[in-house]
Amino acid sequence: MTRRLVIDTDTASDDAVALLMAVAGPDVEVDAVTVVAGNVPLAQGVKNALFTLAFCGAAEVPVHAGLDRPLVRRLGTATDVHGEDGMGDAGIVRSVGEPVAEHAVDALVRLANEAPGERDLVTLGPLTNVAAALVRDRDLLTKYRRTVMMAGSPDSVGNVTATAEFNVWADPEAASIVLNAPGEKVLVGWNISRRQAVMGPAEQQRLATLGTARARFVSDINVKVAEYCRTVTGLDGYDLPDPVTMAVAMRPELVRRSEKLPVSVALGDELRGQLIIDHRVAGRAGASAEVVWEIDEQGWKELLFAACSED
């Protein structure tokens, strides 16, 4: 079965690897990429998306520019993690083409309504575009087959703060709107990334051994992330939250353990962006998302290596 994907991204280094995996998938069709401000300002995210798709031989995929700031807050980027250009400051990103004229929010609504149940939505950044689309169409997510989100940290171990993951922290109001909307949602949080999506020394060596342009691309754009992981999050290598989320979108069978649970978002300043999960039996009737707790680590990494094995 061919999976038709719409990908919403704040294109930085791990987003770019996720895009590479998607367009390299033999049974995946990327119908559109929508871009939101997050890891980098909107214009840079659009530039990174266009460059990545062209680099991967998928320049025909339409790229839609979206919202350039959170719903009610100031934009906070992650250039300290991904570099000023979001791609490790490796000096490889250049201008390639232009986004299409249609706004990302308009595209998300149109794509859902023109083929209900035929596409999956994959979100890799703050949920601002999706929340704005939900204001236009409350049932939006029911018209996507499912929504797979790189969002939050369900065990409350954060990367941008002690308890919050960046995408939800960046626009917690948007995340709250999305989590409260009807539709099938799968949440792949930073708990998966730091436990089962780290490219340690052995994986980095295997990537280098491939010797392809794609493998070099993945390594080069993640140099800054590796330094951040070493000095801030304490990981032995660099983690790839968006690629592991894309792997779950491409191969749902990679999920080994998950639970449907009620999930909400802390909006106050002290715990901004922390996920609040109700594990009580009485609360499960109001489950808002399928929370992923464990995946097939070797299986998803083989998808990554396969995507990088050819130029």
Q: For the chain, give the percent of residues with pLDDT over 90.
A: 95
pLDDT score for 289? 95
Lowest mean pLDDT segment, chosen from 14-18, 122-126, 167-171, 228-232: 228-232
> Could you give the domains of the chain?
3-308 (3.90.245.10)
- Which amino acid, 6? V
Distance, first Cα to last Cα, the chain: 25
Q: Are 149 and 187 in contact (CB under 8 A)?
A: yes
Q: How far is CA 188 from the centre of its chain?
A: 9
pTM equals: 0.96
263's enclosing H/E stretch is strand 263-265
- Which amino acid, 299? G
Distance CA 171, CA 168 (A): 6
Counting other chains too, the contacts that 112-115 makes at CB distance below 8 Å and 24 or more residues apart are 112/137, 112/140, 112/141, 112/143, 112/144, 113/137, 113/143, 115/4
pLDDT score for 282? 67
pLDDT tens for 209-228 read 999 999 999 999 999 999 99
Closest by Cα among 279, 259, 39 to 169: 39
